Amino acid sequence: MSDAKRTAAEKADFKRELTEVVPHLRAFARGLCGRADMADDLVQETLLKAWAAQERFQPGTSMRAWTFVILRNAYLTDMRRNRFRGEYDETVAERVLTAPAGQEEPIHLSDMHRALLTLPPERREALLLVGAGGFSYEEAATICGCAVGTIKSRVGRARAALNSMLSEGNIPQRSIDDHGAHRAILEELDEVAAGQGGSRA
């Protein structure tokens, strides 16, 4: 970053790359906050922040990773302001995800989504980045601003929780519907936002 101001060509490149990652930002946001309308608001906020901060983007690096950092920080801020409460999006298709061999009920995509939204935010985002977005642990750690080991631990715990919920069919109907749970999540968010989330994964 030698020049403070970008040339017109650089701006055009930035905008093209930014446009290309919008579908990924929408997918990440949908996974984080559950509801499609809130997720899209979050992405719009992210796009405006990214555009305003474009001189801090290093050309040649990953636009997806860079914008995901902006999106997650905006999400954490909004979450602390109580805008998102992990509400479940009823529009997720009731698609059968797995059909177990035995007599058990099949797992639906909506079960998956609901189970995901019950996870603490830092585990949910770690699992989304690695398990859905296809980021490496190293990339996910960079995006979340924590150690690689922390990401591995969060992903492991998230997977274990989903495994237990989905295999036992024990998925809460609502993810965050009591004050105690909500307060606990806000406390965790403060730690995550302060970069201390690594101490307890």
Residues at the contact surface with another protein, assessed by CB under 8 A: 11, 15, 18-19, 22-24, 26-28, 30-31, 40, 43-44, 47-48, 51-52, 92, 95, 97-98, 100, 107, 109, 112-113, 116, 127-128, 130-138, 148, 152, 159, 162-163, 166-167
Shortest distance, CB of residue 65 to another protein, whole angstroms? Answer: 15
Say if CB 124 and CB 33 are below 8 A apart: no
Question: Which amino acid is residue 127, in one-letter code?
Answer: L
Residue 97 has φ and ψ, to the nearest 5°, of -95, -45
* 149 or 196: CB nearest another protein: 149
Question: Which amino acid is residue 117, in one-letter code?
Answer: L
* 132 or 186: CB nearest another protein: 132
* 3 or 178: CB nearest another protein: 3
Number of H helices, E strands in the chain: 8, 2
Shortest distance, CB of residue 27 to another protein, whole angstroms? Answer: 4
* 109 or 193: CB nearest another protein: 109
Shortest distance, CB of residue 95 to another protein, whole angstroms? Answer: 8
Say if CB 140 and CB 129 are below 8 A apart: yes
Say if CB 158 and CB 148 are below 8 A apart: no
Shortest distance, CB of residue 76 to another protein, whole angstroms? Answer: 20
Of the CA atoms within 13 Å of residue 36, those in its CB half-sphere come to: 5
Structure tokens at 4: 């403070």
Shortest distance, CB of residue 58 to another protein, whole angstroms? Answer: 16
Structure tokens at 45: 């906020």
* 161 or 189: CB nearest another protein: 161
